[in-house]
A and B are shown apart, each in its own frame.
Chain A
C-alpha cells in the first residue's frame, strides 16, 4: 500500500516536531527508493543514485523544521531537495532559488494562483494519469530528461512549437482539475 500525502505530511511533521526516528525510517523506506529511481531516470549511475538518495533523506532530517504543509506536500518538498542535490552533484552548478523571505512586497497573488496543497496532490496525480500520452510524455521529459525543450523536440522528431502546445494543453487541463480559472 502506498502512503498518501496526508500520512506523509504527518510523518514529516513528527520528524520536525519531535525528531521521531521511527517516522523518519518510514519516510526513508517510502521515499529513498523513489528518489533513487528519479535519479536513475536522469542518468545517474546506480552508486551515485543510491548515495544521493541517502543524502536527500538526510537533508529531509536536517531541514524538516523548514517544511510548511501550507506551501507544498512532503513529496513535492522532497522532490525540490532531490532536484537541487542533483544539479549540485551532477551538473556542478549552483541552483539560484528564492528563500521564502526573499519576496518583494509587490503584487498580490491572483485568487486562482493558490499553491497546490497536500489534499490536491491525490487529484493532481489522477489528472496526470488521465492526460493523453503525448502530453504526459512532454511533461515527464521536462522532469526526467536534463535537456532543454528544443532538444527534446529534436529527439521526438516534432517541432518545438508542438512541444510547447502540448505543454499548454496539459497545463490547462491540470489547472481545471485543481479548480482554477484558466
Chain B
C-alpha cells in the first residue's frame, strides 16, 4: 500500500507542464505504481482543459485552416513504437532513461553495499538510480536544495518514516536525514536531487564529489 504521495501543488505543476524533465520523470514513475495519483493528475489536467475552453481565443491567420486541411492526407496516424515487455516490471517511462530494465542497468559502486546509475543531469539537477543492500546507509546528510526519492524495490527508513515500493519521499530545504535500507531485499530508489548534498562525515565529504553527488 502506497502511503507517501506527491502533494497537490506538485501534481498541479506536472499537469500544467511546468515541472522540469527530472521531476516529470519521477512523478510519472510514481504514477506507474499509483493509480490514485494517476486519477488525481487526470483531474488536474481537466482544469487545464477547462481553462483552455474558457480562454479568450486568439484569431488564427487567414488560411490557417486550409493550410492544415491540406496536410491531412499526408499525415499518417500516430503509432506508438512497440517496446519489448519488461522482464522485471520496470515501468516503460523509466526504461527509456535506463535504456532497458532495472536488472540491465550499469551499476557503479560507491561503497560496500551501495551503488548508483546516473540517468540525467540538467545543471544542478541530477537523476540517479540508487541501490543499497539491506542495512546500507547513504550517510547522514543535509540538503542545500531538494531531494525526491521514489522507492522502486525494497524499502528504507529514516527519521521521517518508512518507505516502500511506490512511495515518494520529498525532502525540501534545509532538512537532515540518514536513510537506511530495510532488511530483506536490496532497496532500489529513483532519486532527484537539486543542489549538492552536505554529508556529515569527512570520508563521505571527500567521496561525494568523486561520484558526482
A residues neighboring B (CB under 8 Å): 2, 5, 21, 24-25, 28-29, 31-38, 40-41, 49-50, 53-54, 57-59, 61-63, 65-66, 71-73, 75-80, 82-84, 86-87, 93-99, 101-104, 106-110, 113-116, 120-121, 124-125, 128-129, 139-140, 142-149, 163-164, 167-168, 171, 174-175, 178
**Could you list 25 examples of A-B contacts with CB < 8 Å?**
A24-B69, A24-B72, A29-B65, A34-B52, A36-B58, A36-B60, A37-B58, A49-B58, A50-B60, A53-B64, A75-B49, A76-B45, A83-B48, A95-B21, A98-B38, A99-B80, A107-B34, A124-B46, A125-B50, A139-B12, A140-B51, A142-B13, A144-B51, A167-B8, A168-B8
Q: Is the CB of A103 within 8 A of B35?
A: yes
Q: Is the CB of B18 within 8 A of A147?
A: yes
> Given A62-B76, A95-B17, A125-B50, A79 and B8 touching (CB < 8 A)?
no
B residues neighboring A (CB under 8 Å): 1-2, 7-9, 12-13, 15-18, 20-21, 24-25, 28-29, 31-36, 38-40, 42-43, 45-61, 64-65, 67-69, 71-72, 75-78, 80, 89, 91-93, 96-97, 166
Can you list the 4 inter-chain pairs with the closest CB atoms, starting with the nearest?
A: A76-B49, A33-B57, A116-B46, A113-B39
CB-CB under 8 A from A5, the residues of chain B are 53
CB-CB under 8 A from B54, the residues of chain A are 125, 128-129
B12 to chain A, nearest CB (A): 5
B99 to chain A, nearest CB (A): 14
Q: Is the interface of A mostly helix, strand, loop or mixed?
A: helix
Q: Is the CB of B93 within 8 A of A98?
A: yes
> Given A65-B77, A80-B45, A34 and B32 touching (CB < 8 A)?
no
B96 to chain A, nearest CB (A): 7
CB-CB under 8 A from B13, the residues of chain A are 142, 148-149
Residue with the greatest number of chain A CB neighbours at <10 A, chosen from B25, B45, B67, B71 = B45
Q: Is the CB of A79 within 8 A of B21?
A: no
CB-CB under 8 A from B69, the residues of chain A are 21, 24-25, 28
Cross-chain contact of A106 among B42, B53, B59, B166 (Cβ < 8 A): B166
Q: Is the CB of B72 within 8 A of A21?
A: yes
Cross-chain contact of B55 among A41, A57, A97 (Cβ < 8 A): A41
Q: Is the interface of B mostly helix, strand, loop or mixed?
A: helix
Instruction: Tell me the bound Cα distance from A135 to B39 in angstroms.
Output: 22
Cross-chain contact of A61 among B2, B47, B72 (Cβ < 8 A): B72
Instruction: Tell me the bound Cα distance from A167 to B96 in angstroms.
Output: 32
B46 to chain A, nearest CB (A): 4
Instruction: Tell me the bound Cα distance from A38 to B16 in angstroms.
Output: 11
Cross-chain contact of A109 among B39, B50, B97 (Cβ < 8 A): B39
Instruction: Tell me the bound Cα distance from A7 to B43 in angstroms.
Output: 20
Instruction: Tell me the bound Cα distance from A178 to B8 in angstroms.
Output: 16
